[in-house]
Amino acid sequence: MNKVLFFAHLRDEAGVESAEIEAAGKTVAQLKEIVAETYKLGKLDSAMAAINEEFAPNEEVIQEGDVIAFIPPVSGG
């Protein structure tokens, strides 16, 4: 299983902070599609993904146990 984390507006839209999803073997892009459909997330295309706390490109393949975070454009500072 994989833990998926949502932040900022994505968390508000999804209505949950995290979810458990079977994502091993899927790419980040494939997981984005699944999550966008499951949680009705409109703006997921503009979100970055991080795997185990490092930015990951859309084509990266997710491994068993990886923690995936969807990261909307940041606004710190």
C-alpha 1/C-alpha 67 separation (Å) is 9
- Residue 3-42 contact track with other proteins, rule CB under 8 A, x = bound: --x-xxx--x------------------------------
C-alpha 27/C-alpha 19 separation (Å) is 17
Which of the stretches 2-10, 18-26, 33-41 binds other proteins when contact is defined by CB under 8 A? 2-10
Check binding of 71 to other proteins (CB under 8 A): yes
Give every CB contact of residue 74 below 8 A, 6+ residues apart in sequence: none
Give every CB contact of residue 33 below 8 A, 6+ residues apart in sequence: none
* Sites of contact with other proteins (CB under 8 A): 5, 7-9, 12, 45-46, 48, 50, 53-55, 57-58, 69, 71-77
